[in-house]
Amino acid sequence: MTHPRRIVLLAMDAGDKHLLREWAADGTLPALRALFSRGLVGDTASVDGLYEGSTWPCFYTGVNPARHGFHRMIQLRPGTYEFDRCSPGEFINQKPFWNHLSRAGKKVAILDVPLSGISKDVNGIQTVEWGSHDAVYGFRAWPQELEADVIRRFGRHPAGECCDSPGRSVKDFRRFRDELIAGVSKKCELTLHYLEQDDWDFFVQVFTEGHCAGHQCWHLHDPAHPNYRRHTVARTGDPIREIYVAIDRAIGEILAQVDQDSYVFFLATHGMKDSVGKGFMLEEILERLGLVRRPPGAGHLEPMSRRLFRTGARGWSRLPRPVQRSLRPVVSPMFGWARDPETTGPRRLSDRLDLAKCACFPQDNGDLISGIRVNLAGREPLGIIEPGAEFDDLCRRLSEDLLAVTEVPGGRPLVKKVMKTSDLYRGERLEHLPDLLVEWNQEVSMGSKAVSSDVSYRVRAASGKIGVVEGEYRYCRTGDHRPDGLFAVVGPGLQPGTVARTVSVMDFAATFLEWFGLSCDELDGRPIGEVLSGS
């Protein structure tokens, strides 16, 4: 079905659907309340096990992670034990849906879609990372003269390029909140300006400020978080709520300028909640199970590196924004190694582990769902596990052993489930993904109250095979992702209502292509029939 009317997509990166629904219902978010009441509304789900890094690439390519291969900004290079910084625009081998629209003669404006690269043949305009949570390239635009035009008219995003900063004071949190709100306002101005510059067939703008706020400020929103302090919140307010209000205000202003013949999509991708991952315990658990071996002295590397990250990040947060931008190409790799030495430095895995004696090793995939890679013979340089029956047996035994680990005290399972990636996905780039995905039990308590802003919670766990292990979550993020989201659509002839099923984040690329009469048969996502048939 071909639709002559244009699409305007306003998206909220990591917008939590539960907060959006609650605050829309009570009138805190009036623009979204109006949109939900007169639109077709439905729930979305990101890709199982890999939603932290794969959500946006799956959204714009319409294919599953095993086909595009991207799940993390730092990824293992297959055939090695080295981890490289992964630039999605160059790494992902599947074309974004806007490339297909461009080739069909449709005029597009693609603004700040996270984890995407510049499409130099795009028929229209594109910006990458003017305001973004995930900073890979820094701000870029196409055509190239657009970059100068954006800077001249709107300047740089007030919040800078990196939101991670341990040890923020009350004053720092207030400044962080104000910078994000100012960024939302500037992004609204930018959107309105370029929306009026042409008769676009497809226009998208993504608000990413809620993503940063969710990671850094969840303990200022959620009284159940161990870092929640009533006297602190009395001085900072709830930055998440205030930034959602700012985004809602911006959406209202933009929608007021969209003509009545256009179809407007709102999309909130993967959500946000408290950070309850236990990935920091995985390596020690694997070592206790006899599957990971360390060379002498390797155990001292991680605490030193974590201290380096926290100390350096405090100083970084106090540098002027122009100085941060100039130093970022040098400093970012150093901070990356300090935060995650096992994944961000090519030499660090071999420094930490005796790979010739490891049956498997952690492959970073985020805090809520950890990755494990089997040291497979014929695939890894020093692989010791044979493909086939031995591989399957190791995965089975490892799953059983992880599911047997329980919190102390309490007795609840530390791990909710263990997924074999090849059971979830098929594709030519499966080898870029972890072999096993370990989903930590989100119902396990976050332990005792933190004694400092740098330690969010402590965990003790045990099983018959590993004895008792203890760990501390020391990263500055107090909120982390959930896979569920929502969408709403309004437009001529589209009746208000609710989509009875949950749609995949991969379905949107197929829907947009089908909308303009283009083939989507090669995609894993399927067109959202409820939208197409009702419009």
Give the Cα separation of 396 and 385 in Å (integer): 13
Residue 87: inside a domain: no
Final residue of a domain: which of 437, 460, 479? Answer: 479
* Model pLDDT, residue 275: 83
| Residue among 441, 467, 471, 469 nearest 457 (CA) | 471
Residues 182 and 306 in one domain: no
Residues 308 and 403 in one domain: yes
Q: Which string of DSSP letters, residue by residue, matches 292-343?
A: ----TTGGGHHHHHHHHHHHHHHHHHTS-HHHHHHHHHHHHHHHHHHH-HHH
Tell me whether residue 495 is exposed, middle or buried, using C-beta atoms within 10 angstroms of its C-beta: 0 to 12, 13 to 18, 19 or more: exposed
Residue 372: inside a domain: yes
Q: What is the pLDDT along the chain (535 residues), one digit of tens a residue?
A: 555 689 999 999 999 999 999 999 999 999 999 999 999 999 999 999 999 999 999 999 999 999 999 999 999 999 999 999 999 999 999 999 999 999 999 999 999 999 999 998 899 999 999 998 888 899 999 999 999 999 999 999 999 777 888 888 999 999 999 999 999 999 999 999 999 999 999 999 999 999 999 999 999 999 988 888 999 999 999 999 999 999 999 999 999 999 999 999 999 999 999 887 789 999 999 999 999 999 886 654 444 444 455 455 556 555 665 665 556 444 544 454 444 443 333 346 888 899 999 999 999 998 899 999 999 999 999 999 999 999 999 999 999 999 999 999 889 999 999 999 999 999 999 999 999 999 999 887 665 444 444 556 788 999 999 999 998 887 888 899 999 999 999 999 899 999 999 999 999 999 999 999 999 999 999 999 999 987 6
User: Within its chain, how far is the Cα of 216 from the centroid?
Assistant: 14
Final residue of a domain: which of 462, 479, 496? Answer: 479
* pTM (2 d.p.): 0.90
Q: What are phi and psi of 166, to 5 degrees?
A: -65, 155
Residue 143, preceding peptide bond in cis (omega within 30° of 0): yes
Q: Which string of DSSP letters, residue by residue, matches 103-120?
A: HTT--EEEE--TT----T
Residue 172: inside a domain: yes
Question: How many helices (H) and strands (E) are present in the chain, helices listed first?
Answer: 20, 20
Residue 15: inside a domain: yes
CATH (domain of 184): 3.40.720.10
| Residue among 110, 140, 136, 138 nearest 122 (CA) | 110
Residue 81: inside a domain: no
Residues 263 and 290 in one domain: no
| Residue among 461, 518, 516, 164 nearest 310 (CA) | 164
Residues 260 and 291 in one domain: no
Residues 289 and 260 in one domain: no
* Model pLDDT, residue 324: 55
Final residue of a domain: which of 479, 505, 526? Answer: 479
C-alpha separations of 61 from 49, 98, 116, 320, 524 in Å: 18, 9, 10, 37, 9
Provide the number of structural domains found in the chain: 2
Residues 169 and 248 in one domain: yes
Residues 181 and 306 in one domain: no
Domain of 32?
Answer: 7-71+94-274+480-534
Residues 252 and 191 in one domain: yes
Residue 80: inside a domain: no
Residues 54 and 117 in one domain: yes
Residue 263: inside a domain: yes
Residues 373 and 410 in one domain: yes
